[in-house]
A and B are shown apart, each in its own frame.
Chain A
Amino acid sequence: MSGHGNDSRGNGEAGLIKLENVSKIYSTGTFGGKAITAIRDVSFEVQPGEVMSVIGESGSGKSTIGKMILRLSPITQGVIRFGGTDISTLKRKALKEYRREVQGVFQDPFSSYNPIFKADRVFSMIKSEFFPGMSGPEWRNKIGLALEAVTLDPTQVLNKYPHQLSGGQLQRLLIARALLLDIQFLVADEIISMLDASTRIDVLNLLADLKGRGLGIMFITHDLSLGNYISEKTVILRRGLIVEMGATGKVFGNPTHPYTKMLLASVPQLHRKWEEIADELKVSETVLLDREAAAKKAYETVSEILAPDADDSVLVETEPDHLVRFSPEEAREIEPAALAGKTA
Chain B
Amino acid sequence: MSLQIENLKVYYRTLAGDVQALDGVTFDIADGEIMGLAGESGCGKSTLGNSLISLTGRMRYVEGTVTLDSTELPIWDFGDMNHHRFKDLSIIPQYAMSALNPTRKIGRMTGELLESRGMKHKEFIPELKRRFELVGLSEDVLGMYPIELSGGMKQRVVMVVSTLLDPSLLIADEITSALDVSTQKAVAEMLVEFRERGFVKSMIVITHDISILYQVADTILVMYAGKLAEKASAETIINSPRHPYTRLLISSLPEVGVTYSGKRLTGIAGTPPALLHPPEGCRFRDRCPFAYEKCLEEPPFVEVDPGHFTACWKEI
Interfacial residues, chain A to chain B (CB-CB below 8 A): 57-58, 166-167, 196-202, 204-205, 208, 222-226, 228-230, 249, 252-253, 262-264, 266-274, 277, 291-292, 294-302
Contact = CB atoms under 8 A, between A and B. Distances in A.
A24 B210 CA distance: 37
Contacts of A300: 150-153, 183
Contact of B260 (A196, A202, A224, A229): A229
Nearest to B177: A193
B265 A229 contact: yes
Contacts of A298: 136-138, 153
Nearest to A56: B180
A181 B190 CA distance: 48
B29 interface: no
A274 B215 contact: yes
Contact of A267 (B181, B249, B268): B181
21 contacts: A58-B180, A166-B271, A196-B208, A197-B253, A200-B267, A201-B253, A205-B264, A208-B264, A228-B260, A267-B181, A267-B256, A269-B211, A270-B214, A273-B214, A274-B215, A291-B189, A291-B190, A296-B133, A297-B136, A300-B152, A300-B153
B79 to A, nearest CB: 35
Interface residues of B, number: 50
Interface string B179-208: 011111110111001000000000000001
Contacts of A199: 267
A291 B265 CA distance: 35
A201 B254 CA distance: 8
Contacts of A197: 40, 208-210, 249, 252-253
A253 B259 CA distance: 9
A268 B254 contact: no
A225 B180 contact: no
A222 B181 contact: yes
A165 B139 CA distance: 46
Contacts of A292: 136
B238 interface: yes
A338 to B, nearest CB: 27
B41 interface: yes
A270 B264 contact: no
Contacts of A196: 40-41, 208
8 closest A-B pairs (Cβ-Cβ)? Answer: A295-B136, A229-B254, A201-B267, A268-B211, A196-B40, A266-B181, A266-B182, A198-B268
Nearest to B193: A291
Nearest to A297: B136
Nearest to B238: A270
A299 B264 CA distance: 38
A249 B257 CA distance: 9
Given A229-B265, A271-B214, 15 more contacts: A197-B208, A197-B209, A198-B40, A201-B254, A205-B265, A224-B256, A225-B253, A229-B254, A263-B181, A268-B214, A270-B250, A274-B189, A291-B193, A298-B136, A300-B151
A222 B239 CA distance: 26
B81 interface: no
